[in-house]
Amino acid sequence: MQLEEVIRRLEALSPPSFAESWDNSGLMCGRKKKEIEKILLSVDATDEVVEEAVLSDTDLLLTHHPLIFPHVSSLTEDDIVGRRLFKLIQADVCCYAMHTNFDVIGMADEAADRLELNDRTVLDVTYEDTLSKEGVGRAGRLPQEMSLRECAELVKEVFLIDSVRVYGDPDMRIRIAAISPGSGKKRSGYALKAGADVLITGDIDHHEGIDSVARGLGIIDAGHYGIEKIFLSYMKQFILKNMPEMTVVCASQKEPFIVV
């Protein structure tokens, strides 16, 4: 199957029209007529992931975060993005990113499904037409009332995370949860508006955590990568179902830090 047909099927799942205006989702590099037989999935196109793609004879590196972001005016081997692109292009490896369009159509509901949120609503509406409202994150009722500590344990379990950071009284009761995979420190206001008791997200800073608790909102910081890695299993399942002739492999990427 040629790359342009693979892209057509990916964009049928998460249309580019749902991407935010500042984003750079789409084809980072590659020939649209190239035959694609093997796809490597990764959240990020790091040096290690690019090397893995080249050494494993990958045809398409499919990532969540764009390799080129924001737009650049020049590329050289001295530039981080440049050296990665040169390596991919020289090995004839295509690279395509599904970012905020997948956040809206894919990531949001998958994350909410894992928490079994009921009566869910869109957390932050970023797209609206006469038929529907779509956007980043979801808010809804947990399967049962629980403590903030129990909710944190649930998040660790369903997203396969070793540890999370919790802001708020661990014994506070939680019924309504909001989840915003990736960086959600700007969405505490949306969580409060949705009537949430807790916001589950990543990249919460010191002041946002303190201020959220003061406003009555618990925070579970599961890390940026911690939740967004569900992109891998979601897309592997989608590709195997809709393009069964493809070989699909998840990159060996992991959290970019360790806790000591």
Confidence (pLDDT) at 204: 97
What's the whole-number mean pLDDT along residues 124-137?
93
Choose the weakest-confidence range: 32-36, 51-55, 66-70, 216-220. 66-70
* 3-state helix/strand/coil string of the chain: CEHHHHHHHHHHHCCHHHCCCCCCCEEEECCCCCECCEEEEECCCCHHHHHHHHHCCCCEEEECCCCCCCCCCCCCCCCHHHHHHHHHHHCCCEEEECCHHHHHHHHHHHHHHHHCCEEEEEEEEEEECCCCEEEEEEEEEEEEEEEHHHHHHHHHHHCCCCCCEEECCCCCEEEEEEEEEEECCCCHHHHHHCCCCEEEEECCCHHHHHHHHHCCCEEEECCHHHHHCHHHHHHHHHHHHHCCCCEEEECCCCCCCCCC
Confidence (pLDDT) at 257: 87
Confidence (pLDDT) at 131: 87
pLDDT tens-digit readout, 199-257: 999 999 999 999 999 999 999 999 999 999 999 999 999 999 999 999 999 999 888 88
For the whole model, what pTM was predicted?
A: 0.95
Confidence (pLDDT) at 70: 81
